[in-house]
Amino acid sequence: MDYYKEIKQELVNNEINKRIKDYSKNRSDLNAYYNVGKLLSEAGKHYGEGIIKEYSYKLSIELNVKYDISSLNKMKKFYNLVKKLATVSPNLSYSHYVELLPCKDINKVKYYIKIIEQNNLSIRELRSKIKSNEYERLDEDTKLKLIKKDKLEVKDLIHDPIIIKNKHSYDIISEKMLQKLILEDIPSFLEELGIGFTFVKNEYKIKLVNSYNYIDLLLYNIKYKCYIVVELKVTSLKKEHIGQIETYMNYVDKNIKTIEENKTIGIIICKKNNKYIIEYCSDDRIIAKEYDLM
């Protein structure tokens, strides 16, 4: 086989398709670069890895398009990645896949492909999630569920630590200041918690016997049909925090939630988690996660 001729034709056809079929540009890119990657892989087996440098030089001259060594190597890696995935998602652009090429863990790649499809992520948004180690901040049990394609619960996709944007570069903060930082960029905070979270109110007032108390953040999850009580602590997790949030959760269940909705979830966001306290907590609806200011 004349590998160079086949590669050149694939790239020429792709440039033509881009001009006359604007609606199918992405599909054309994915097909062409997959085929080129396959041909480069086969050519490398016959002529050695140095063949990519030779092809790069010839293609750039003959097609008047810069197909440098890096670009061709990415196409080859794209082909190898798709082989592992066994399929190409039409909802991702080739540029999305390029961002995923450095990922060595195929399960990590599958995770990001799924959230790109679910949330229609841009390249910039994907890059930000990868940079923040979003996949690595998932619980190991959650990762196992994703691999097995088991049903996820509301708490599974909450990251640990939860990244809270600190635009003011505070070093020492109070609970009020932590709440203020969250409210300044509530969409980012809700994304850290997972899918389907919406904001109801901060400092949500409730009456317990003859006194008023305030829930730091009251959220709702549309997908799982339940309220979420969030309490913010700038200290390590303490056993009294468990009692406090459990009281608030029971109040919401008794006075706010309807019979069609699921039981309320409680999230304690603290400076440092204490896994022993959580281990001996009898209510598995309560979750403790650390926060990190960035």
Reported as a pLDDT band with limits 50, 70 and 90, residue 21 is low
Residue 289, beta-bridge partner list:
269
Min mean pLDDT across 170-179, 210-219, 246-255, 260-269 is at: 170-179
Quick one: 116 exposed, middle or buried, by C-beta within 10 A (0-12, 13-18, 19+)? buried
Q: Is the pLDDT of residue 271 over 80?
A: yes
Give SS3 for 292.
strand
How many other CB atoms sit within 10 Å of the CB of residue 118?
10
Which helix (H) or strand (E) segment holds residue 200: the answer is: strand 197-208
Q: Is the pLDDT of residue 172 over 80?
A: no
Output the CA–CA distances (angstroms, integers) from residue 158 to 3, 26, 126, 192, 258, in the order listed: 48, 32, 17, 6, 25
The overall pTM is greater than 0.75: yes
Give SS3 for 202.
strand
Summarize pLDDT for 224-252 with one digit per residue, the tens.
Answer: 999 999 999 999 999 999 999 999 999 99
Summarize pLDDT for 98-128 with one digit per residue, the tens.
Answer: 999 999 999 999 999 999 998 999 999 999 9
Question: Tokens in use for 159?
Answer: 């990251």
Summarize pLDDT for 191-233 with one digit per residue, the tens.
Answer: 999 999 999 999 999 999 889 999 999 999 999 999 999 999 9
